Chains A and B, each alone.
Chain A
Amino acid sequence: MDKSLKADIGLSVLWSVDQTSSQATKNCMWRETSDYKSCQERHIWERWIFRCLTSAEALTMDRIPGQTGYLLLNEEGAVLASSGDLENDEKAAVIIMGLINLTSYVDKAAFPDESFKKLSITYDKHCYVICLSNRKVHVVKKTLTSDNPVVA
């Protein structure tokens, strides 16, 4: 557990992160509203929970086979987590958010009442895979090998 977060809130908390899934709140100790001594304490607590969830999602992306980098963005395009080739790559984040806005509805005749679940950008030897989940944008950069081809 991130010790700086513990010091941040000054509370002792029992929690664990199931790293095979994104269930960061699995054993988290929630506090009732009346337990908060102040609004500031509640704000710190909620911010900590948010950071746990974001960290868990980033950990999951870290484990994808062949990945050389990832980006985790919020719905406004701000970078929540990044790693590898995409570390601190805000330029890529802006381009990808622009792409997502464009692809909301491509062709009503071909895809009526459907929105896209996954977006891939494939080059010769690597690709970017983008999907939306839990109100966040997940971007993974992966190398393409003969064992790991991308099928259209």
Chain B
Amino acid sequence: MEKHLDRVMDEVVNKPGVFGCVFVNHQGLCLGAKGKASTESAGLIAAIAEQAAKLEPHSSAPIVTLETDNKTCIIQRAGTITGAIYKNRSS
């Protein structure tokens, strides 16, 4: 049942610079994680997307980007699914 999602996650992780991804449903439950990513962060990722959306409730879902010195975490909600992609900043 999750083959399609697995395929999508494989494609994402194979992109240059990407080292992990997590997909979460609207309740914060983890649908899948690939690469160097933890399923335990699912709830937080959903909460971050939901909190960011409150800033402008009438606009479409924003992209939340969290940056450290070397890495980036990009979170966006699309419909009922929230995705988080972890990338290295050099690429």
Contacts and interface: CB of A to CB of B under 8 A. Distances in A.
A116 B66 contact: yes
B81 interface: no
Contacts of B48: 99, 102-103, 106
Interface residues of A, number: 27
A95 B51 contact: yes
A37 B84 CA distance: 58
A109 B38 contact: yes
Nearest to B47: A102
Given A95-B54, A95-B55, A110 B60 contact: no
Q: Is the interface of B mostly helix, strand, loop or mixed?
A: mixed
A152 B55 contact: no
A11 interface: no
A128 B72 CA distance: 16
A35 interface: no
Contacts, number: 100
A111 B73 contact: yes
Given A107-B38, A122-B62, A114 B68 contact: yes
Contacts of A16: none
Nearest to A112: B36
A98 interface: yes
B9 interface: no
Interface string A123-140: 110001000000000000
A69 B67 CA distance: 22
B42 to A, nearest CB: 10
A92 interface: yes
B83 to A, nearest CB: 13
A113 to B, nearest CB: 10
Contacts of B36: 109-110
B37 A152 contact: no
